[in-house]
């Protein structure tokens, strides 16, 4: 199986977008998951609903909202352009942002479940040993929740890789800049002679997604084996 240069570009771009989306969404996802799992605060239900919004909204709506907020004229778009020279609209960075936001609820969910599974009694024990809340989190909660964090990250990566609706709405489908595997497949299905190319990219998508799931399983298993002291 050989790829055209355009397809190779789309594959690498997809991987880059998905990796960046995962890395960017992971730290806020860990914080949000911890807040949801362990803290009580005013507006928690609303916060939870907001986080899950990308999961239930039509992706095109999320994409359109991103366009309004992070487009060239959008308040956040202008801010990031002015402060750090980051432009999202019609750039791969925008695709990464869209993919990260679409993956966010899944990542938060996986991490939240694994944090909830950590025995709060161990955290209480750590605090009596002199650990501040931040130290407790870093030395007890996070290491024990690590399998879930890894699983969440890989799930997020797979989701980011397959993101379509929000991406195409927000940053369009520009070859070499925002054309990912998903949008390239879509383009090929709209082209009379695109069947073979669509099939090649479909196989790539299946292979990467399967690999990601196997890897997540492997990570979770090795971590839990370590915890069980074999």
Is the four-CA dihedral 191, 193, 195, 197 of positive or negative sign? Answer: negative
121 contacts another protein (rule: CB under 8 A): yes
What are the residue ranges of helices labelled H in the chain? 5-38, 44-56, 59-70, 75-84, 92-116, 120-128, 133-136, 142-162, 165-171, 181-189, 195-228
**Residue in 126, 150, 161, 197 binding another protein, rule: CB under 8 A:** 126
Stretch that binds another protein, among 13-21, 80-88, 117-125, 163-171 (CB under 8 A): 117-125
DSSP letter assigned to residue 137: I
The verdict on 132 binding another protein (CB under 8 A) reads yes
Based on the shown chain and the rule CB under 8 A, indicate whether residue 39 belongs to the binding site for another protein.
Answer: no
> Does residue 116 interact with another protein by CB under 8 A?
no
State the residue for tokens 């196989």.
203
When asked if residue 220 is in the footprint of another protein (CB under 8 A), the reply is no
219 sits near another protein (criterion: CB under 8 A): no
Distances (CA, A) of 175 to 48, 162, 185: 36, 17, 12
Residue 117 binds another protein (CB under 8 A)? no
Q: Is 9 in the site for another protein (CB under 8 A)?
A: no
140 makes contact with another protein (CB under 8 A):
yes
Distance separating alpha carbons of residues 183 and 181, to the nearest angstrom = 6
| Beta carbon of residue 142, minimum distance to another protein (angstroms, whole number) | 10
Nearest to residue 21, comparing CAs of 188, 166, 139? 166
Q: Is 135 in the site for another protein (CB under 8 A)?
A: yes
Contact 140, 134 (CB under 8 A): no
1 binding another protein? (CB under 8 A) = no
Contact residues: another protein, CB under 8 A: 121-122, 124-133, 135, 139-140, 143-144, 226-229
């Amino acid at each position: 199986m050989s790829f055209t240069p355009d397809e190779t570009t789309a594959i690498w771009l997809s991987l880059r977008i998905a990796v960046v989306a995962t890395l960017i969404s992971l730290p806020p996802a860990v914080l949000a998951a911890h807040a949801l799992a362990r803290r009580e605060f005013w507006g928690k239900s609303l916060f939870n609903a907001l986080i899950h919004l990308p999961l239930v909204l039509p992706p095109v709506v999320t994409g359109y909202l991103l366009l309004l907020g992070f487009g060239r004229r959008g308040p956040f778009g202008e801010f990031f352009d002015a402060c750090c020279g980051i432009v999202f609209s019609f750039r791969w960075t925008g695709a990464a942002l869209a993919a990260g936001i679409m993956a966010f609820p899944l990542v938060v969910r996986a991490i939240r479940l694994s944090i909830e599974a950590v025995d709060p009694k161990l955290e209480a024990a750590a605090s009596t040993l002199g650990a501040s809340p931040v130290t407790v989190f870093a030395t007890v909660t996070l290491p024990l929740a690590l399998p879930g964090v890894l699983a969440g990250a890989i799930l997020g990566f797979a989701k980011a890789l397959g993101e379509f609706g929000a991406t195409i709405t927000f940053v369009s489908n520009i070859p070499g800049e925002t054309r990912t595997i998903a949008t390239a497949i879509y383009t090929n299905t709209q082209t009379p002679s695109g069947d073979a190319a669509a099939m090649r990219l479909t196989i790539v998508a299946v292979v990467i997604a399967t690999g990601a799931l196997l890897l997540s399983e492997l990570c979770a298993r090795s971590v839990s084996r370590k915890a069980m002291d074999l």
